[in-house]
């Protein structure tokens, strides 16, 4: 029996991956961090607003007359909401489902089928966030539905998973070559692994676990294919000197583990 709810995806390579859903505790922790960052941003904007408020009111009275004060307040609220929603849209789109808070909490937003979220999903989640948080509907929905979705997740078709948890059978033993540590060091020195998603890592691990039962030809072909996919994701033109595709995947496995733990 699992304490945390889990969800399964099947990748295009027909590999079944199982992830642990991010519970309300992890999501609350991430949100608290994000609110601290947002508070700093809003404080900066408020300081700028006070500096130019007189000019804004004068300009507003010239355009709106007696209703100028109401319009200025309305514009201020619009700016605050744009910053509030834009913060989550910007980071979750740019960082593939993570905000600064989610990154520290080691959780990530993905689509229901495991694919990375896009602008449409992040925007829908951000627009519905006030309804989830002010009325506590989001917390209740997360606690009482199996996929731990808030209202924004239902509408956007997303879930939130833990990035550091990939379930693998205990019977599957992973054996790495002696050169894997050297490959790992070279990769960490020269590449940025942040664009990689948990399912990218899981596919590599699945290959490393099962490669011993493959024929030499099939193993070599799959290693090259996976290596090319990883190179495309992390924008690496050439492999480190003296590193074969098979060893490169071992190095990626170790490097991703270190960066996830760190």
Q: Which residue has the tokens 């509030």?
A: 84
What is the pLDDT confidence band of residue 153, given thresholds at 50, 70 and 90? Answer: very high
Model confidence at 148: pLDDT above 60: yes
Number of H helices, E strands in the chain: 10, 4
Domain boundaries, the chain: 1-167, 180-261
Tell me the pTM. Answer: 0.61
* pLDDT tens, position by position, 155-181: 999 999 887 644 444 445 677 888 888
Q: Which residue has the tokens 């300009």?
A: 59
Distances (CA, A) of 249 to 101, 152, 204, 205, 227: 29, 36, 7, 9, 7
Contact 258, 191 (CB under 8 A): no
Model confidence at 117: pLDDT above 80: yes
When pLDDT is averaged across residues 187-203 and rounded to a whole number, the result is 80
Residue 176 DSSP label: -
Dist. CA 186–CA 32, nearest whole Å:
36
Map residue 2 onto helix, strand or coil. coil
């Amino acid at each position: 029996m699992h304490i945390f709810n889990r969800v399964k995806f099947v990748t295009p390579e027909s590999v079944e991956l199982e992830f642990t859903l991010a519970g309300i505790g992890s999501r609350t922790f991430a949100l608290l961090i994000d609110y601290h960052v947002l508070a700093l941003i809003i404080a900066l904007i408020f300081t700028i607003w006070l500096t130019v408020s007189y000019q804004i009111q004068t300009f507003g009275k010239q355009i709106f007359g007696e209703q100028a004060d109401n319009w200025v307040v309305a514009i201020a609220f619009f700016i605050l909401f744009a910053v509030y929603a834009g913060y989550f849209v910007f980071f979750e789109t740019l960082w593939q489902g993570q905000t600064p808070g989610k990154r520290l909490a080691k959780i990530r937003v993905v689509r229901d089928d495991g694919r990375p979220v896009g602008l449409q999903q992040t925007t829908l989640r951000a627009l519905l966030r006030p309804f989830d948080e002010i009325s506590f509907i989001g917390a209740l929905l997360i606690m009482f539905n199996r996929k731990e979705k808030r209202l924004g997740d239902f509408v956007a078709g997303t879930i939130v998973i833990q990035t550091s948890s990939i379930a693998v059978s205990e019977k599957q033993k992973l054996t790495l070559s002696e050169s894997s540590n050297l490959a790992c060091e070279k990769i960490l020195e020269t590449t940025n692994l942040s664009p990689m998603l948990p399912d990218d890592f899981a596919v590599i691990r699945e290959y490393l676990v099962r490669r011993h039962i493959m024929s030499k030809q099939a193993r070599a072909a799959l290693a090259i294919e996976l290596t090319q996919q990883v190179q495309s994701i992390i924008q690496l033109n050439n492999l480190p000197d003296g590193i074969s595709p098979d060893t490169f995947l071992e190095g990626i496995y170790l490097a991703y583990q270190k960066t996830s733990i760190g």
